[in-house]
A = this chain, B = another copy of it.
Amino acid sequence: MRILIVEDDETLADGLSVGLRLQGFTPELVTCCADAREALAQGGFSAVVLDLMLPDGSGLDLLAALRAGGDRVPVLLLTALDQVRDRIGGLDAGADDYLGKPFDLGEVSARLRAIIRRAEGRASALLEWNGLRLDPSRMRGEMAGRELRFSRREFAVLRALIETPGVIVEKDRLEERLYGWQEGVESNAVEVHVHKLRAKLGAGFIETVRGVGYRLAEARP
């Protein structure tokens, strides 16, 4: 299983790398946000070990951007032990778990296994539903022979919905997904995007569940 380690402290990074290799993982190492972004864009990692403090930015921002783009790869945060506030923010930002430094190598791999196991339950490569096919890598879709294009936000909403077709996705969760943890926007942005999506997909494709959220309709009329 490929694990991406994002850590600039060389000693720590090497230790992690060796330790995880011994545990049967296949770690790859990057040392800054920019490289991490690039690696993650390729995809194919089973999980990410992410340091919060990086030379070219905060790991939290990287994480938030990742989630906003719809990537749900499991993330294990590394944080200094006393940064309680960071830790809370991390979980809300979409991290699957975190670990305070200094940490035990056995614990790192136990937690990695745990979050990977959790993530497997929700994975799916093909996004397809009710005649709509979505290509996540191109942000495009296809329906009844016509190619559909979506803006970033539109696509994020649609993707969140199609990952669990038929299942209600709470509006909170959609906002969370679009904007990250920090301060759910004080507006009807989600509704607007749903509106635009309906214009492209046809009314009836996305159902409203009043007071709760949205979901994809079970069958097309």
CB of B139 within 8 A of CB of A111, answer: no
CB of B114 within 8 A of CB of A91, answer: yes
CB of A215 within 8 A of CB of B121, answer: no
Q: What are the interface flags for A85-118 relative to B under an 8 Å C-beta threshold, 1 for contact and 0 otherwise?
A: 0011001100001000000101100110010001
A139 is contacted by which of B124, B152, B164, B168 (Cβ under 8 Å)? B168
Q: How far is the CB of A27 from chain B (nearest CB, A)?
A: 19
> Given A118-B118, A138-B167, are A152 and B210 neighbors across the interface (CB < 8 Å)?
yes
Chain B residues lying within 8 Å of A152, measured Cβ to Cβ, are 210-212
Chain B residues lying within 8 Å of A114, measured Cβ to Cβ, are 91-92
Q: How far is the CB of A81 from chain B (nearest CB, A)?
A: 9
CB of B84 within 8 A of CB of A107, answer: yes
In angstroms, Cα B97 to Cα A104, docked, is 16
Q: How far is the CB of A49 from chain B (nearest CB, A)?
A: 16
In angstroms, Cα B168 to Cα A211, docked, is 28
> Given A110-B88, A139-B209, A168-B138, are A121 and B124 neighbors across the interface (CB < 8 Å)?
no
Q: How far is the CB of A118 from chain B (nearest CB, A)?
A: 7
In angstroms, Cα B140 to Cα A62, docked, is 38
In angstroms, Cα B120 to Cα A167, docked, is 11
CB of B212 within 8 A of CB of A139, answer: yes
In angstroms, Cα B122 to Cα A133, docked, is 24
In angstroms, Cα B122 to Cα A209, docked, is 20
CB nearest neighbor in B for A213: B139
CB of A124 within 8 A of CB of B87, answer: no
Chain B residues lying within 8 Å of A209, measured Cβ to Cβ, are 139
Interface positions of A from 31 to 78, Cβ below 8 Å from B: none
Chain B residues lying within 8 Å of A182, measured Cβ to Cβ, are none
A137 interface contact, C-beta 8 A: yes
In angstroms, Cα B27 to Cα A154, docked, is 39
Chain B residues lying within 8 Å of A168, measured Cβ to Cβ, are 137-139
> Given A110-B91, A139-B212, A209-B139, are A84 and B104 neighbors across the interface (CB < 8 Å)?
yes
| In the A-B complex, the 5 residue pairs with the closest CB atoms | A137-B167, A152-B211, A88-B110, A84-B104, A91-B114
